[in-house]
């Protein structure tokens, strides 16, 4: 809240148009204090992009309240880990929202918002089972305004498939590689490109994969110098990091 808004609100209090409790509630709301969450409305100024809403564990009411505060400040909304049963009422509340059921993300842009288009990031999957995590990364990049190329099902079990698609991502500013099982694909991709590669281990695989731990350890031990690794199934984190690389490079 700027000084003029605060003075106006104080004037309403002095004129007995609002109570002291109402004054405190409205003032708190303007600086991001929701009834159930403190929204970081200054994060875009500090970090380049607004706060992201993590949907797991939050009610529809909580997500709605936070999203409305972001939209009121003309900030695009990204909600991750949104299950279909939550998406339905959210889409009723925000008719212009876009829900990706596979990636479990929901995006809402302010009415006057014009998404930028900057940079280029490729999202590569080892197999079709890795698509939900890859879609989370892709939606994150779209929210950031980054052009995205998807390259699916080019895992190391069919080694000829990746070189055949190389032209699609050879000029990428950064690459997100999503893989489960033995998690070898980021190292292979890293050997072909001159940009950062963010490996995302997924919880795809049989018993000894230990819910993605095997893929995580394999990626952490990558011999490719340009490979960094995020947490298991963390498509958002990899997409965000790759998006930062792309946007900063083209500022």
CATH assignment at residue 145: 3.40.50.1970
Both 173 and 238 in one domain: the answer is yes
User: What span, in angstroms and rounded, lies between the C-alpha atoms of 165 and 178?
Assistant: 16
pLDDT at 30: 56
pLDDT at 24: 75
Of 114, 129, 158, the position where a domain reaches its end is 114
Both 202 and 238 in one domain: the answer is yes
Specify the DSSP class assigned to residue 32. Answer: T
Which tokens hold the place of 100? 């990706």
Q: State the 10-residue block means of pLDDT for the chain, 251 residues long.
A: 71 87 71 65 91 93 93 94 95 95 95 86 96 98 96 91 94 97 95 97 93 96 96 98 94 80
CA dihedral angle for residue 223, residue 167, residue 177, residue 244, rounded to 10 degrees: 100
46 is in which domain, residue-wise? 37-114
Question: Exposed, middle or buried, 120 (CB in 10 Å: 0-12/13-18/19+)?
Answer: buried
Both 203 and 236 in one domain: the answer is yes
Of 92, 114, 136, the position where a domain reaches its end is 114
Pairing of strands 98-100, 105-108: antiparallel
* Strand, coil or helix: 123: strand
User: What span, in angstroms and rounded, lies between the C-alpha atoms of 139 and 98?
Assistant: 10
Both 67 and 136 in one domain: the answer is no
Specify the DSSP class assigned to residue 109. Answer: -
Both 21 and 128 in one domain: the answer is no
pLDDT at 34: 46
Both 11 and 129 in one domain: the answer is no
Both 43 and 95 in one domain: the answer is yes
Which tokens hold the place of 217? 């350890």
Distance in Å from the first CA to the final CA of the chain: 29
Q: How many residues does the chain have?
A: 251
Both 145 and 188 in one domain: the answer is yes
Both 68 and 101 in one domain: the answer is yes
Both 46 and 106 in one domain: the answer is yes
Specify the DSSP class assigned to residue 192. Answer: T
Q: How many domains does the chain divide into?
A: 3
Both 17 and 69 in one domain: the answer is no
Both 80 and 16 in one domain: the answer is no
Write the CATH number for 106.
Answer: 3.30.110
């Amino acid at each position: 809240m700027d000084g003029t808004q605060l003075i106006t609100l104080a004037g309403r209090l002095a004129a007995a148009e609002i109570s002291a409790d109402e004054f405190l509630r409205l003032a708190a709301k303007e600086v991001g204090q929701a009834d159930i969450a403190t929204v970081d409305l200054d994060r875009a100024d500090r970090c380049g992009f607004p706060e992201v809403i993590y949907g797991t564990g939050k009610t529809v009411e909580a997500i709605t309240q936070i999203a409305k505060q972001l939209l009121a400040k003309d900030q695009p909304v990204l909600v991750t880990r949104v299950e279909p049963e939550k998406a339905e009422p959210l889409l009723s509340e925000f008719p212009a929202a876009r829900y990706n059921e596979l990636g479990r993300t929901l995006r809402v842009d302010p009415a006057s918002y014009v998404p930028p288009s900057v940079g280029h990031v490729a999202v590569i999957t080892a197999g079709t089972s890795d698509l939900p995590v890859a879609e989370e990364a892709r939606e994150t990049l779209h929210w950031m305004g980054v052009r995205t190329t998807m390259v699916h099902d080019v895992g190391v079990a069919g080694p000829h498939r990746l070189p055949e698609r190389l032209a699609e991502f050879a000029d990428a500013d950064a690459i997100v590689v999503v893989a489960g099982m033995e998690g070898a694909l980021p190292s292979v991709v890293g050997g072909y490109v001159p940009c950062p590669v963010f490996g995302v281990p997924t919880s795809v695989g049989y018993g000894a994969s230990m819910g993605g731990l095997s893929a995580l350890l394999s990626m952490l031990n990558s011999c490719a110098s340009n490979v960094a690794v995020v947490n298991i199934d963390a498509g958002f984190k990899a997409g965000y990091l790759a998006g930062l690389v792309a946007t900063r490079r083209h500022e």
